[in-house]
Structure 1
């Protein structure tokens, strides 16, 4: 369930979300649409993304702009940012959500696989930020929210390229917070726990594994995609105007 809190300053704000067509990203797209923001979202999967845009327009009377883009193609990413800005104005909220948490062993990782993994999980976060910066600076500031993961914090061992990238997201967040602070641009990260997206449930969740994981949380309920929306809206809003260089862990108290 989406949070009931309204952040008036988010109305008409130009928001760009990567990976906004499914999972956590779809909840984020809906969350900002529900606030009355002008939302553009990037996703490679066209059919579900178009269906999401139709659904949100019907529900809220506020249609997000879907930008079919492969984030591994940096020229395409830059073009998507330009289209979002032409449609909605300078991006003042960027949510770097897109990720690929494919499981893999150390032995199976090749140079090509490593580069592929980071071309989705880390590289686009930097270049999306780079692309929105001129407009964000001209607008007088903004908020950048990078999604990381608790996976590297709990020593999860079955996706080493992914955990390396997600650790890198925090380094990127803190370094850019220092660089961009004088321009009134805040840069923060959100680290979800195990979120019960359709992908997770289809590929890795079992009744027993979920029971064990939730049993280690302080809050004894599964974490859902909608649970990421409130923290993200808060970080995007003026309520967090003096909060930067931080990582907000949203894991039900697992850590």
Structure 2
């Protein structure tokens, strides 16, 4: 039997974080999905938000809807373009206080059909740009003596999920990146953490893979009965960016409803 969605009288009232007001925030892959909710969440907190994306139409629409939000277009697989876009946003919103490495694509693939070119493209899409974004913004954070870097992981490899081995490998590596960069940058009071989403009900997921059978199976895997909406991932990101999380670094923060 399919369990009920969250009751209206149980809908949460979310927190405000005064420490985020006026902070300069960069979000990669910010035009849609979880990224757009992250951008919106920071904007609501009074932060100066800039995001990167390659979707010109979605980027323009989001920036038009959210007052004061800026963006730059680039393909994050092109590291020179990534660095140029980050420099462009730095000129507009100032040196970054927060970096959210959100951009990724969980495209399905059969391990028997993966060739070297596809494998490398998945690493470039889901992992490589995170390191080079950190490399680009960290000097400004070092100069300030503070910063928060939040990398988006996935519980797909924790669950030993099938259907996307290159994606799962890249996401597994994100945790290694977080741990080592937390050590590299911690002496400058720069915090580096991983947010670990479960199966999040973005429009992309609902369009491509959220069949009634798959959703019921997911519910049975979770300790909590409700399907996970993207705003809950965004709220975890806001917390980790805020001063409330000043002693949180080098760790994983799960938003997966207790999925096993």
Contact 1:8 1:35 in 2 (8 A): yes
Establish whether residue 11 from structure 1 lines up as the match of residue 21 from structure 2.
Answer: yes
Name the CA distance, whole Å, in 1 between partners of 2:125 and 2:12.
Answer: 27
Q: Deviations over 1:64-110 (max 9, x none)?
A: 11111100110111011111111111101000000010001111111
Hey, what's the Cα distance between the residues in 2 that align with 1:176 and 1:150? 20
Aligned-partner Cα distance in 1 for 2:225–2:14: 22
Q: Which runs of 5 or more residues in structure 1 are unaligned?
A: 58-62
Could you tell me the TM-score, scaled by structure 2's length? Answer: 0.94
Task: Check conservation: 1:196, 1:223, Cα contact below 8 A.
Answer: yes
Residue 185 of structure 1 is matched in structure 2 by 190
The TM-score normalised by the length of structure 1 is 0.96
* Equivalent residue, structure 2, for 1:35: 45
Q: What is the alpha-carbon distance in structure 1 between the residues aligned to residue 194 and residue 152 of structure 2?
A: 6
Give 1:3 shift.
Answer: 5.6
Output the CA distance in 1 between the equivalents of 2:142 and 2:90. 13
- Contact 1:152/1:167 (<8 A) preserved: yes
Structure 2 residue 85 is matched with structure 1 residue 76? no
Distance 2:13 2:33 in 1: 17
CA-based RMSD of the aligned residues comes to 1.1
Deviation per residue, 1:115-139 (Å, 9 max, x gap)? 1001010000000000001111112
Tell me the CA shift for residue 140 of structure 1: 1.6
Alignment partner of 1:48 out of 25, 37, 58: 58
Q: How many residues align?
A: 250
Equivalent of 2:108 in 100, 103, 107: 103
- Partners of 1:197 and 1:9 in 2: CA distance: 28
Report 1:10-159 matches (<5 A). Answer: 10-57=20-67, 63-159=68-164
Retained in 2: the 8 A contact 1:20–1:42?
yes
User: Structure 2 stretches of 5 or more lacking a match?
Assistant: 1-10
The answer as to whether partners of 2:59 and 2:71 remain within 8 angstroms in 1 is: yes
Asked if the contact 2:71–2:89 (Cα under 8 Å) also holds between the matched residues in 1, the reply is no
1:227 pairs with one of 218, 221, 232: 232
